[in-house]
Amino acid sequence: MVLSFVTGVLLPMDSALSAHAVAQFGEPKYPADFKHFDYANPNAPKRGQIRFAVISQNSGFDKLNPFSLKGKPAPGLIEQMFETLTVYSLDEINTQYGLLADDIKLAPDFSAVTFHINPLAKFSNGDPLTAKEVKYSFETLTSPSGNPRFKAYFAEIKAVTMIDAHTVLFEFKRKGRDLSFVAGSLPVFSPKWGLQPDGSRVPFNKIGLEAPITSGPYVIERAVSGQAVTYRRNPNYWGANIPARRGTYNFERVVYRIYKDTDTMVAALRAGDFDFLSENKMRYWCCQYIGKRFDQGELVKALVPHQNPVAMNGWIVNLRREKFKDARVRQALNYAMDFEFMNQKIFDNEFKRVNSYFAYSPLAATGVPSAEELAILEPYRQQLPAEVFGPMLQQPNTTPPGSVRQSLTKALALLGQAGWHNRDGVLRNAKGEPFVIEVTFANRGQTPYMDPVCLNMTKLGMIVVKRVSDAATARSQMNKFDYDYTTIALREGRMPGAELWRNFNSQDADKPGAENLIGVKSAVVDALIQKLLNADSQHALEVAAHALDRVLIHSHYVIPWRYLTKHYLIYHHRLQRPEVLPKYYGAQEWALAYWWDSDAAKK
Mean pLDDT of 232-245: 97
Strands 253-259 and 228-233: antiparallel
Please answer whether residues 29 and 173 qualify as being in contact, where contact means their C-beta atoms are separated by less than 8 angstroms.
no
Tally of CA atoms within 13 A in the half-sphere of 579 that contains its CB: 2
Residue 115 bridge partners (DSSP): 104, 168
- Three-state DSSP class for residue 425: coil
Please answer whether residues 334 and 508 qualify as being in contact, where contact means their C-beta atoms are separated by less than 8 angstroms.
no
Query: What's the CATH number of domain 313-563, 1.10.3720.10, 3.10.105.10, 2.60.120.260, 3.40.630.30?
Result: 3.10.105.10
Q: What is the pLDDT of residues 483-511, one digit of tens each?
A: 999 999 998 777 787 789 989 999 999 98
| Reported pTM | 0.87
Q: What Å distances lie between residue 212 and 125, 227, 248, 367, CA to CA?
A: 10, 20, 21, 51
Mean pLDDT of 371-390: 97
List the domain boundaries for the chain: 313-563
Mean pLDDT of 516-544: 95
6 or 339, which is more confident: 339
Q: What's the whole-number average pLDDT of the chain?
A: 92
Kindly tell me if the per-residue pLDDT of 241 is higher than 80. yes
Q: What is the pLDDT of residues 266-284, one digit of tens each?
A: 999 999 999 999 998 888 9
Residue type, position 42, single letter: P
Please answer whether residues 130 and 114 qualify as being in contact, where contact means their C-beta atoms are separated by less than 8 angstroms.
no
What was the pLDDT predicted at 446?
65
Percent of the chain with pLDDT over 90: 79
Kindly tell me if the per-residue pLDDT of 402 is higher than 60. yes
Tally of CA atoms within 13 A in the half-sphere of 430 that contains its CB: 3
- Three-state DSSP class for residue 539: helix
Q: State the Cα–Cα distance between residues 570 and 53, nearest whole angstrom.
A: 12
Q: What Å distances lie between residue 394 and 81, 207, 336, 371, CA to CA?
A: 44, 50, 15, 21
Residue 201 DSSP symbol: B
Cis peptide before 191 (omega within 30 of 0): no
15 or 433, which is more confident: 433
Q: What Å distances lie between residue 563 and 300, 449, 553, CA to CA?
A: 23, 15, 17
What was the pLDDT predicted at 301?
96
What was the pLDDT predicted at 493?
75
pLDDT confidence band for 11 (50 / 70 / 90): very low
7 or 299, which is more confident: 299
Q: State the Cα–Cα distance between residues 231 and 223, nearest whole angstrom.
A: 9
Q: What is the pLDDT of residues 21-65, one digit of tens each?
A: 999 999 999 999 999 999 999 999 999 999 999 988 666 799 999
**Number of Cβ atoms within 10 Å of the Cβ of 346:** 16
Backbone angles phi, psi at 14, to 5 degrees: -60, -25
Q: State the Cα–Cα distance between residues 112 and 169, nearest whole angstrom.
A: 7
Mean pLDDT of 327-345: 95
The beta strands (E) that lie in 89-175 are given as 95-98, 101-106, 112-117, 157-164, 167-172
Percent of the chain with pLDDT over 70: 95
